[in-house]
Structure 1
Amino acid sequence: MNALLVAVLLTAAPAPTRLTLDEVRTQGRQSTTALQALLDLDIASEDVRVTRSALLPQLSVNASVGKNWFGRRKSFNLVPDPNNPGEFVQIPVESKPTSTGDYDLGFILNQVIYDRARWKQLEQSGVLRDAQTSQAQEEADTSELEAIRRFFTLFRSQATRQVLEATVKRSEEQLDRARSLFQAGRVGKVEEISALVNLGNDRITFVQSLTTLVTDQTQLAVWLTRPGTEPLEAVDPGVLTSEPAPAPTIEQAIDSARERRPLLKALQLQVRSAELQRSIARADYLPVLSARGLYTRQGPDAEQVFTEPRLQNNFLGSINLEWNVFNGFITPAQTRRAEAGIRKAQLTLAQSAREIEGQVRAAHQSLEAQMVAARLSAENKEAAFQGLRLAEERFKAGAGSTLEVRDAQLNLTQAELSLLENRIDVEIARFSLLRAMGALSPGETK
């Protein structure tokens, strides 16, 4: 009855979606954090266009239609004096209310000829875009490594359940042996009861492991931007049946990190951006040269302004030179501020380089230690298997007890779980090292 209940619990869940390691790695690079970094890259690319626009011709068109009203007003006009020929007198004259139309059409063209600050700003925006490209690669690598870790965590839960299921089967076989020997009068009833209790405990552990499995499925699904309710299954990547590949030398790992780590490239470009900021500040010492063209049409009649091209034409062209000779010492202050920014960027780069070297060393040491642990776990498993076989033979011969068999079973289960844990930790450590080296994904993917 208990076995039937366990079977029902296991078959109640819907069929999971199978995912290979390669699929998880590809989808991991499209996680939410990686996509946000790509959106930041899009913003940086548009910033380049925004900065470039200031160096391109600026053409604007304006038009207006209006009317002017003039009320009654009094003025004085000079007229000949009839009483004194040759002389003039002023007489007051009152004018009637009048109104006139007011129509305007104009085109204004501005073009920067030389502005060192704007050219350096354009170069800086390009450098920042390239820095964001490297930063997006860094985020994609981070997201991929997290997807790999969650994949192996799920695979470990699946394999753990297989080990626990095998333990349940061994306990069932031990119960059958104890019952048969009791019926044959070779062992006491206590052996059968002990075997039954051990089987119940193993079934409880197996059923409880389903909670861990579901949690790991959810964690992987959410990271891959899948519904949290979707059950997933990690396809066996074959790591449990193959020997781990040897680790690269520490020198090779550090050289690779210095050459390929996207974060270092991003920080190097940040230093270049800070240097360009200093050039932008110094550009205030130089003049700005620009050109301006103006074409307008104006008059009181709409037909003359908008439909008669030979009338009402006005042209204006100019070359403008602007040189800020004195601005209250703000330029040297901005220059010193930019130089401080350069130093900060250089310090950040140097510190990050040291931290990355430390990460590589730690990841390299972790991989080597896990490989040794995995080899020792394999030897322990073989010894535990031999111990269980010997205990079972002794029990069949009536020389052993259920307690001895149980101890041997637990030793084998622990050895199998330890081998599973350490072998998967080897792969996680290997990918962590590749991540620290900047070699997690091939260049084509980046």
Structure 2
Amino acid sequence: MNTKFLYILLLFSPFLKAQELLTPSKAVSLALENNYGIKVANSNVEIANNNADILNSGYLPTLTGVAGGSINKENSEGQLANGEIRVANGAETRNYNASVNLNYTLFDGLGRMYDYKQLKQTRDLTELQARETIENTIIQLFAVYYSVAELEENTNAIKETLQISKERLVRAQYQFDYGQSTKLEVLNAEVDINNDSISVMNSNQELINFKRDLNLVLGNSITENFNVDTTINFNNLLDKAELFNKAKTYNNSLLQINKSIEINKLTVKSETSAYLPTIGLTGSYGWNETTNNSPLAFALQNTSTGVSGGLNLTWNLFDGGSTITRVKNAKINLDIQNIQKEELLVTLQRDFNNAWDDYQNKLNIYHLQEANIITSQNNFDRTQEKFKLGQATSIEFRQAQINLLNAELTRNSAKYDAKIAELQLLQLSGELLNVNF
């Protein structure tokens, strides 16, 4: 048996070293900085900011430079006024040109203005989508974080049970050596030690796996040699009506659909702008040079520079009905968004009521389990005293021991279930990012 105990001690010796304590606030900071999904969401926000910049608005003019050159060789024959005939073989004509052209849209039926506003609204929508990613990541983070915390507490509770079983074996061995009990008591104690040791090993392995899951959510930013803070502080939530009012104002899904409605309104206006004309301004500065070595040419070299400008108007009087179709479809899409908002409000009320009741129920269960721990501990202490006095059997002692362990495991589960329910309620009400972790 001593060899088995030594093996178990060596097996779990890494957990005896000092380990880094990961607090909830530190876990949130690491996730915000290193989580892969959040990094992608932040990059999408950066793209949306670029799209909403004045450089992508269509309000600025376009300026283009054009340059070219050509060489032409040809044989020609011509008769002058005095009847003289001249022949030019291989006459070469060179032409060079360059110009700078300016184009600017003065008026496009206000479509440009509505498109630019859509880009800004889309940027705001992308920020809300990034916030949704952050909220979901925090919920995922704490689901894993509290699983690690629960397993740490469970493992410690099982280790305590194992230690009690070891002490029971020592006592049973002494009693057997002095003829006060049978070998059966020793064998039963050994069986219970083996079972408790297996439970510790399984719990430790599960704890290692969940720590790896947690590290993945944190963007692989910490080592696996860490512990988490198992202290739970429940927030003092507002009354139900006030919290629901916050949900109707700050719920992320509701904010997103409101933003989508604003974008669709601008889409209708943008499509309607196609009914109006477009007025554009053009301007250019050009240079042109032509050289000709032909004896028939009037001028051997000609160079010209000049500035030109113009104003043009384009009015699509009828495009076969495509503009009318686009406007109708944009209005239908707007109606769809409003219907979806009505559905979301009803769904939000249902989800909020469910989340509120679930939180209250789990919080009450946790408080009852806290009280149950006291009862189970008292029952175990009394049974242990009776067992030492020989007034309780090993079966009764083991049952009291298991009852206490089960009470601790159930209490741990209830505690973290209640905390997760609280976070989910805060997410629905739009308050998740406003609390201290």
Tell me the TM-score normalized by structure 2: 0.90
8 A Cα contact 1:21 1:237, kept in partner: no
The 2-side partners of 1:109 and 1:400 are apart by 101
Partner of 1:324: 316
**2:89 pairs with one of 88, 96, 99:** 96
Matched, 1:214 2:208: yes
Q: CA RMSD in A?
A: 2.4
**1:130-150, Cα deviation, whole Å (9 max, x unpaired):** 111111111111111211111
Q: Alignment partner of 1:23: what SS?
A: helix
The structural deviation recorded for 1:291 is 0.8
The structural deviation recorded for 1:385 is 1.1
The 2-side partners of 1:444 and 1:343 are apart by 40
Matched, 1:124 2:118: yes
Paired residue type of 1:26? S
**2:42 pairs with one of 34, 38, 54:** 38
8 A Cα contact 2:76 2:91, kept in partner: no
The 1-side partners of 2:154 and 2:306 are apart by 87
Partner of 2:282: 292
C-alpha change, 1:47 and 1:245, in structure 2 (3 Å) is closer
Tell me the TM-score normalized by structure 1: 0.88
The structural deviation recorded for 1:197 is 1.2
The 2-side partners of 1:361 and 1:299 are apart by 81
Paired residue type of 1:66? S
How is 1:354-433 mapped onto 2 (pairs within 5 angstroms)?
354-433=346-425
**1:170 pairs with one of 152, 164, 170:** 164
Paired residue type of 1:267? I
The 2-side partners of 1:290 and 1:245 are apart by 61
C-alpha change, 1:292 and 1:420, in structure 2 (3 Å) is same
8 A Cα contact 1:19 1:232, kept in partner: no
Matched, 1:353 2:345: yes
The structural deviation recorded for 1:49 is 3.1
How is 1:304-319 mapped onto 2 (pairs within 5 angstroms)?
312-319=304-311
The structural deviation recorded for 1:163 is 0.4
Paired residue type of 2:403? N
Partner of 1:29: 32
8 A Cα contact 1:253 1:360, kept in partner: no
Q: Alignment partner of 2:52: what SS?
A: helix
Partner of 1:18: 21
**1:34-67, Cα deviation, whole Å (9 max, x unpaired):** 2211111122222223773522021111222332
Matched, 1:231 2:192: no
Aligned residues: 422
8 A Cα contact 2:148 2:228, kept in partner: no
The 2-side partners of 1:314 and 1:193 are apart by 110
The structural deviation recorded for 1:95 is 3.5
The structural deviation recorded for 1:225 is 0.8
Partner of 2:139: 145
Partner of 1:338: 330
8 A Cα contact 1:191 1:401, kept in partner: no
Q: Which deviates more, 43-52 or 140-149?
A: 43-52
How is 1:162-201 mapped onto 2 (pairs within 5 angstroms)?
162-201=156-195
**1:225-247, Cα deviation, whole Å (9 max, x unpaired):** 1169x3153432422xx6x4554
The 2-side partners of 1:443 and 1:325 are apart by 57
8 A Cα contact 2:61 2:102, kept in partner: yes
Partner of 1:155: 149
C-alpha change, 1:168 and 1:181, in structure 2 (3 Å) is same
C-alpha change, 1:222 and 1:273, in structure 2 (3 Å) is same
**1:320-379, Cα deviation, whole Å (9 max, x unpaired):** 111111111111111001111112222333333333333322221121111111111112
8 A Cα contact 2:145 2:228, kept in partner: no
Partner of 2:70: 66
8 A Cα contact 1:51 1:121, kept in partner: no
8 A Cα contact 1:102 1:298, kept in partner: yes
The structural deviation recorded for 1:425 is 1.3
C-alpha change, 1:444 and 1:387, in structure 2 (3 Å) is closer
8 A Cα contact 1:278 1:335, kept in partner: yes
Partner of 2:299: none
**1:121-172, Cα deviation, whole Å (9 max, x unpaired):** 1111111111111111111111112111111111111111100000011111
**1:187-227, Cα deviation, whole Å (9 max, x unpaired):** 33222221221111111111121210111011000111116
8 A Cα contact 1:16 1:231, kept in partner: no
**1:295-339, Cα deviation, whole Å (9 max, x unpaired):** 1010126xxxxxxxxx72211111111111111111111100111
Paired residue type of 2:426? L
8 A Cα contact 1:15 1:231, kept in partner: no
Paired residue type of 2:305? N
The 2-side partners of 1:180 and 1:327 are apart by 102
Q: Which deviates more, 219-228 or 292-301?
A: 219-228
8 A Cα contact 1:29 1:141, kept in partner: no
Query: Structure 1 unaligned runs (5+)?
Result: 81-90, 302-310
The 2-side partners of 1:382 and 1:102 are apart by 102
Partner of 1:304: none
**1:58-104, Cα deviation, whole Å (9 max, x unpaired):** 111122233222x2234455557xxxxxxxxxx87543331122111
**1:2-49, Cα deviation, whole Å (9 max, x unpaired):** 221111111246865431110111222342112211111122222223
Matched, 1:49 2:53: yes
**1:226-281, Cα deviation, whole Å (9 max, x unpaired):** 169x3153432422xx6x45543322222111211233222211111111111111
Percent sequence identity over aligned pairs: 21
The 2-side partners of 1:105 and 1:161 are apart by 81
